[in-house]
A and B are shown apart, each in its own frame.
Chain A
């Protein structure tokens, strides 16, 4: 899996080039041609969208009338929707770090190039989405939905979090356990999914021991005025983060953190035990469910687990979690947008296919089977071992979805 990503201003100056995978760096003439064909086509009254050969896609896209991103990548999906999504993410990242103002009204291009370097880690992470690193267990970069963790302590956490946010004078706060959102203030969910995703990616990417305090621009809500993103580690695997203005100071915030969260330590530990199933321990799924991803299209959250059986009930262990994750990601990329649509059509895909009436897709591989099902506002993707009939899988999927969405103890959406 390999990819090149180039960015150039529409005036023709290259801003940066990233590459992913074991490939040689891109020689300048190729970069120039790659960008040149787009520009030239544009002068002739046409807009180049994409080109593909038998193993690679090239997608061009223009942002804010100032810069253009181009990605060359191998992609398993049948359309260029996901590559475009990656380009969108990269563009949002640039806004996220630098603010729209600085990108649009460029005074010193060399300065901008230098400033853009701060985005590289996050851009690389996004490109990693093509072939993620081992420790990435989230699907958010792919789905644009927030990964959540479902724990029985959720309502308690929400109470603490609300009080905490109020005491520090903000309405945006969330508690993450094992990198997934376990609880959040109501206003946190009002942030655009792009912004949530950027924050999520940033937090997963920046692994500090204690926490961070950096200025960010929210690409949709406030692309020009920065916010402060503050994060503290509460335990080894859980942290709390806030979006706030210039006050209060970090020291004051720290005091508040201690005040509110010291008492919750035991609860946090108990919530962490939900990982890696990401659901309360008393909920058991069918033994054949090797891993799953449930997406709530209405609330734009997703619940997933690569090892849903917390006990030693996982009989089919020939697949590692990394492999399972890759399978699910590939499955998602392959079917969503081409064979199946997200329930509430929020993702207005610009692909040429007009109607996808499919509600279910099975893919049977040599060693495993996959099933995707759209039901109401949910899309569920399940990985099964091979050798089971589709009808059986179907009933398991339906009951699993029912457990994960309607069980009393399993509230996440």
Chain B
């Protein structure tokens, strides 16, 4: 508390002065025609329109179990009943969710997914100007808010200590939100059906195209309605409705009309991801409206556009705690009805303190035992993969002695007739293992996954050992592990089915998303979306200002208030793409991994956030003893990520989130939205002036040259990913107009670089076609060749070069090209008849660059591309670094 000193009002002047430091704000009259007046305070585009808030205390007063009520359960109701960050209450509502470890995970969605178009932007901008006065008021009140906030902090701390256990549990359950974020099942004692737990689910429905734009529904809207009464429910909501079997309910809805989940549609929206809906659940409300079997279709057919519906389900309690059932229901998905999952899991073994007298499983510190308990032949709860763990441990000791090298990185065994890969990661005295069958992923893929997982654990929890052994983290870890194996399994299913797109409509296989398989391996920082120079300048300026701002700047009278921590770096993600960063590449990689594995990027991409605040301690590599914290503040589709470092010149740290800093970051977030960042990104991604679809090469070089602020300091290889399609001589190139005479020359980039990933262009490839699979596989293969080259080069530097175990055969490798043939019509989702005209030979060319920094670049192009165009493609990547 003593770090803040309250002074009186008078902040309005200083804040407006700060605004004038932003050059573009007043220099862009087109963007902001309403700009006038002295203060120039602007709001973000329409994120706070109350009409869009369906979930939340104000938006849905009727739904007692909506998202925020769940959170508010952990604090006294008086605190949060009417708070929102807009009201002039002193405590923002999220602050009550800070757990007793001083960590915060708070997320609130806007209820409607906006397809951001120009019109909505103008509309929201108008809304902004109406709200402007309110904002001005708010800004003036900020000082008083600060003072009250400081007062409340003591209260908040006390509150949290009082209800620490409950708060901690709630927080843990809110970690790692999925695509569909179900709020936790919660009892509502005032209800008639008090033994039924209710939970709320938000689902994005697409009446015309099916879930998420992929063509799920076969026949368009007219055809759909002819397909029986339940069809709409099956298509939109993904379950077959049935009538209830139970008899002892008394409610306003008559018994026979209740909508019960009879069967989940395989591959439907409720059948995957984190939807916890089970057979037998009762759909009580839809968008807060009571639903009966009779009017379900009417309600559903009234949904005409892509929107997010809120589903209230109720579930009969089981004898066990519901939450223990989640892994099988959510992560395991379809395991119950099918054959048991092949052996897989994550394990942590240690030989420390294990003696002859120890229990048999004393050396197992952690095993992700999901689904394996049910398998026959599992003795003592030991995973089948661990039954021969003696051999694993022996190998870990043996390999260094044999070859004088590092411990083993991967082993392959045949278990039950199935090839299973086991990846080793040794951390101190513990052995971290991750196993997965070869039908899910190759050993190269598994190794990359394991490395990412290990670095995530280290970043998020300090060490793998702490992550996997600390009981407090068990819930979080379980979620991560579940989603990991769920994802791997989906990949495997997709691979064996030959068409991955059928597995998850619009899911993780979609190449157009930044979360597809390839980027999961390569792009650790997030894919880089190059902004137009002026936008990029704005965003970077905003970031710089945010980093530089101290409370002293805020008001002259606040002399001694300092930040508790310095911002050591920050980054902006928009729509899930990295757009600006001031962070070192290594840090960015860690943060990207964190955001990706916690699905925050995906969440911000798919859902419009009303507010997202994450504050947690993190453990970056090679930190000099200072505590570090990660702050993520999100709104709309924009995320600001900042890495804080406590200690040093800053004041002593009191184990509590710097709420004021969070509010500052929220403010800068609003500035970014004011800068129309989302619109800019959308234009790049979807707009007609897409730089990826260009008509001649000169435009390519102009428009696809990404502006990169990649720091030069890094030696670490990280990756840049983008793709671009270059078409020759067709002025307006569309896929439907491909002719033999004017073939597009397709070029697909994967540049593995330091710092960032770059994405240009929407996909033209069908998601999950053999083509993209081949591209991915080839890139992985070439990448592992390059790894050997790099290793050989590094060996060259070592004094014992030329030792018996060194391999120098690939030391001078520079470029690898692979030509592969895809049968069928790879890049033509629309032109079935013309597919034969497309040359179906493709080249994947990978080049390894060692100077000035290590970089790998992969280009995929059609057969017959002239060498100069290919070279130009490589040059493009080099233009990327300024």
- Chain A interface (Cβ < 8 Å from any Cβ of B): 1-2, 4, 21-23, 26, 30, 33-34, 36-38, 40-41, 43-56, 58, 72, 74-76, 78, 80, 326-327, 330, 334, 338-340, 352-354, 356-367, 389-391
Interface centre among B387, B398, B809, B814 (most CB of A within 10 A): B809
Task: Give Cα A52–Cα B395 distance, bound, in whole angstroms.
Answer: 10
Q: Which residues of B contact A49 (CB under 8 A)?
A: 411-414, 419
Chain A nearest CB, measured from B173 CB (Å) = 36
Interface of B, secondary structure class, is mixed
Known: A78-B785, A364-B815. A53 touches B408 (CB 8 A): yes
Are A339 and B781 in contact (CB-based, < 8 A)?
yes
- Residue in chain A with minimal CB distance to B787: A54
Apart from the given pairs A45-B387, A72-B403, A364-B815, 5 other A-B contacts in the complex at a CB distance below 8 Å: A23-B804, A49-B419, A339-B781, A361-B817, A362-B815
Residues from chain A with Cβ under 8 Å of B402 in the complex: 4, 26, 30, 34, 56, 58, 72
Residues of A within 8 A of B410 (CB): 51-52
- Tally of contact residues, B, Cβ under 8 A: 62
Task: State whether B815 touches A54 (Cβ < 8 A).
Answer: no
Contacts of B495 in A (CB 8 A): 354
| Given A46-B414, A362-B816, A2:B394 Cβ within 8 A | no
Are A360's CB and B818's CB within 8 A? yes
In the complex, the answer to whether B819 meets A361 with C-beta atoms within 8 Å is yes
Please give the distance in Å from B513's CB to the nearest CB on chain A.
Answer: 25
Judge whether A367 and B812 touch: CB under 8 Å: yes
A55: chain B residues within 8 A (beta carbon): 403, 405-406, 791, 805-807
Question: Which residue of chain A is the closest to B822 with respect to CB atoms?
Answer: A357
**Interface: B742 (CB within 8 A):** no
Within the assembled complex, what's the spacing in Å between the Cα atoms of A71 and B153? 65
Scan residues 773-805 of chain B and give those whose CB is less than 8 A from a CB of chain A. Answer: 774, 777-778, 781, 784-785, 788, 791, 804-805
Inter-chain CA distance A100–B819, complex, in Å, is: 44
Contacts of A43 in B (CB 8 A): 388
For residue B442, CB closer than 8 A to chain A, the reply is: yes
Q: Give the distance to chain B from A283, nearest Cβ to Cβ, in Å.
A: 27
Interface pairs (22), CB distance under 8 Å:
A2-B805, A23-B805, A33-B398, A34-B398, A40-B394, A45-B384, A45-B388, A47-B413, A49-B413, A51-B412, A52-B408, A52-B409, A52-B410, A54-B406, A80-B412, A327-B809, A339-B781, A352-B419, A356-B820, A360-B819, A362-B816, A363-B816
Q: CA A224 – CA B785 in complex, angstroms?
A: 43
**Which residues of chain B have C-beta atoms less than 8 A from A357's C-beta?**
774, 820-823
Taking CB atoms, residues of chain A closer than 8 Å to B813 are 363-365
A22 touches B804 (CB 8 A): yes
Whether B411 contacts A391 by the Cβ 8 Å rule is: no
Q: Is the CB of B867 within 8 A of A40?
A: no
Q: Is B415 at the interface (CB under 8 A from chain A)?
A: yes
Q: How far is the CB of B483 from chain A (nearest CB, A)?
A: 23
Question: Per a CB cutoff under 8 Å, which of A23, A26, A37, A367 touches B395?
Answer: A37
Which residue of chain B is the closest to A367 with respect to CB atoms? B812
CA distance A357 to B495 in the complex (A): 15
Cα–Cα, bound, A32→B816 (Å):
41
Contacts of B388 in A (CB 8 A): 40-41, 43-46
Residues of A within 8 A of B879 (CB): none
| B390 in the interface (beta carbon within 8 A) | yes
Cβ of A334 and Cβ of B867 under 8 Å apart?
Answer: no
Collect the chain A residues with CB atoms within 8 Å of residue B387's CB. Answer: 44-46
- Complex-state Cα separation, A23 to B804, whole angstroms: 6
Question: A46-B414, A48-B413, A52-B408 are contacts. A36–B394 as well, Cβ < 8 Å?
Answer: yes
Nearest CB to that of A368 among chain B residues?
B812
- Contact A352 to B442, CB < 8 A, known contacts A2-B805, A55-B403, A74-B806: yes
5 pairs of A and B residues whose beta carbons are closest in the complex: A2-B804, A44-B388, A364-B815, A366-B812, A360-B819
Determine the chain B residues whose CB is within 8 A of the CB of A389 once the complex forms. 867
Contact present for B399 and A364 (CB under 8 Å): no
